[in-house]
Structure 1
Amino acid sequence: MFNYRLPAKNFIAAFDIDAQKTFTPVCPDELPVAEGDKIVPELNAQAKLACLRIASRDAHSPYAKWIATEEHPCLTPLAGYPDLDLYWTKHAIVGTPGFEFIDGLDPEAYAFQSLKGIEPDKHPYGACYHDLGNKYSTGAIEFLRQHGITTVICGGLATDYCVLNTVLQLKDAGFTVILNEAACRGIAPDTTQAALEKMKAAGVILVKNAAALKKMR
Structure 2
Amino acid sequence: MSAPTPANSALAIIDLQNDFCPPHGALAVTGGRDIAPAINTLLSLPFALKLATRDFHPPDHISFASQHTGKKPFTDSHTIVSPKNQEEEQTTLLWPDHCVQGTPGCELIPELHTSSLHFIVDKGQDKRVESYSAFGPPFRRPRVGMTELDAKLKEKGIEHVFVCGLAWDFCVQSTAVDAVEHGYSTYVIEELTKGVDQSEDGHEKTKAEMEKSGVKVIGLESPELDAIRKK
The two structures have a TM-score, normalised by structure 1, of 0.87
1:197 aligned onto 2:180: no
Give the CA deviation at 1:81.
4.1
Match of 1:122, as an amino acid?
A: V
- More deviation, 8-17/116-125: 116-125
**Structure 1 stretches of 4+ moved >6 Å:** none
**CA offsets 1:4-24 (integer angstroms, 9 cap, x no match):** x95221111100111111111
Q: Residues of 2 paired with 1:44 and 1:80: CA distance?
A: 36
1:165 aligned onto 2:174: yes
Structure 2: 5+ residue stretches without partners = 83-88
Give the CA deviation at 1:181.
0.9
For 2:152, the equivalent position in structure 1 comes to 143
Change (3 A) 1:78 1:14: same
Structure 1: 5+ residue stretches without partners = none
For 2:38, the equivalent position in structure 1 comes to 42
Q: Residues of 2 paired with 1:128 and 1:163: CA distance?
A: 11
> What SS does the aligned partner of 1:57 have?
strand
Change (3 A) 1:90 1:203: same
Counterpart among 41, 46, 51 of residue 48 in structure 2: 51
Give the CA deviation at 1:49.
4.5
1:64 aligned onto 2:70: no
> What SS does the aligned partner of 2:78 have?
coil
Change (3 A) 1:65 1:51: closer
> What SS does the aligned partner of 1:78 have?
strand
Aligned Cα root-mean-square deviation (Å): 2.1
After the TM superposition, which residues 124-135 of structure 1 pair with which residues of structure 2 at under 5 Å, given as runs? 124-129=131-136, 131-134=137-140, 135=143
1:154 aligned onto 2:163: yes
Q: Residues of 1 paired with 2:35 and 2:102: CA distance?
A: 23
For 1:31, the equivalent position in structure 2 comes to 27
Q: Residues of 2 paired with 1:7 and 1:107: CA distance?
A: 24
**CA offsets 1:3-60 (integer angstroms, 9 cap, x no match):** xx952211111001111111111324x1111100011122222331412201211001
On the 8 A contact 1:10/1:51 being kept in 2, the answer is: yes
The two structures have a TM-score, normalised by structure 2, of 0.82
Q: Residues of 1 paired with 2:39 and 2:64: CA distance?
A: 30
- Structure 1 vs Structure 2: percent identity of aligned residues? 26
Change (3 A) 1:177 1:65: closer
Match of 1:158, as an amino acid?
A: A
> What SS does the aligned partner of 1:206 have?
strand
**CA offsets 1:96-139 (integer angstroms, 9 cap, x no match):** 1211112221333322222111122222111101x231413201
